[in-house]
Amino acid sequence: MASGARLQLLLALWTLAGPARPVAADAGDGGWQRRGPGAAVAEEERCAVERRADLSYSEFVQHYAFSRPVILQRLTDNSRFRALCSREKLLASFGDSVVRLSTANTYSYRKVDLPFQEYVEHLLHPQDPTSLGNDTLYFFGDNNFSEWASLFQHYSPPPFSLLGTTAAYSFGVAGAGSGVPFHWHGPGFSEVVYGRKVLYFPDRWWHATLNLDTSVFISTFLS
């Protein structure tokens, strides 16, 4: 275990209670929804991470920023961004764009480049729970921010920051059953656009990720 890493382990299931702000009822699942084996709303009820709505910045710093994770609700309004992230709109806007896929093991050793449409139509399916991380490819990070700027300009990140840090985005689309084993990194936020999850994680907090549904998500890393 790396020096200074906290001993607490957090299994950060992508199971947060919907988007940060309510969206129109007809927004639905954006055409993405495919559930993995055993995925159920009951998973949310078993999540032990505290949920907070309308959290003030002072409360965030005092109780969570440096010590423990928290699920943030009603924090931002990303309705416009969410609408642009539907399956139909992303394929129309970026289907021909080449994206870089990473393996789902801890250090993402293998990288594969292919058109976004090919990834969505041929690789974005529920994962076999017995498959290994180094055999699973998914799109997260390694974003071409110039090519995807027309989308990212509509994203409203969580308003909380930490002194001396700058924000960096990682956008992704992943199939049900995909994720990353236990690992740690600097602090940040993970927000589900379609799927189930806004989670804040402190610096060096051990966690793993599991997408229970086909998910569109964006993380804001503070470094």
What is the model's pLDDT at position 3?
38
pLDDT band at 176, cuts 50/70/90? confident
Contacts from 88-95 at CB under 8 Å and sequence distance 24+? 88/31, 90/116, 90/120, 90/151, 90/173, 90/216, 91/116, 91/117, 91/120, 93/150, 93/151, 94/147, 94/148, 94/151, 95/120
| pLDDT tens digits, 144-155 | 888 999 999 999
What is the model's pLDDT at position 61?
95
Average pLDDT of the chain, as a whole number:
81
What is the model's pLDDT at position 125?
85
DSSP per position, 192-206: EEES---EEE-TT-E
Secondary structure class of 8 (helix, strand, coil): coil
- Mean pLDDT, rounded, for 42-49: 69
| pLDDT tens digits, 67-78 | 999 999 888 899
Measure the CA angle with vertex 27, ends 33 and 16; round to 5°: 60
In percent, the amount of the chain with pLDDT more than 70 equals 80
What is the model's pLDDT at position 153?
95
37 to each of 104, 126, 178, how far by Cα in Å?
Answer: 18, 8, 11
- Cα distance between residue 180 and residue 70, in whole Å: 19
- Mean pLDDT, rounded, for 180-194: 89
What is the model's pLDDT at position 183?
84
- Mean pLDDT, rounded, for 75-91: 95
What is the model's pLDDT at position 12?
35
Q: Give yes or no for residue 35 having a pLDDT over 80.
A: no
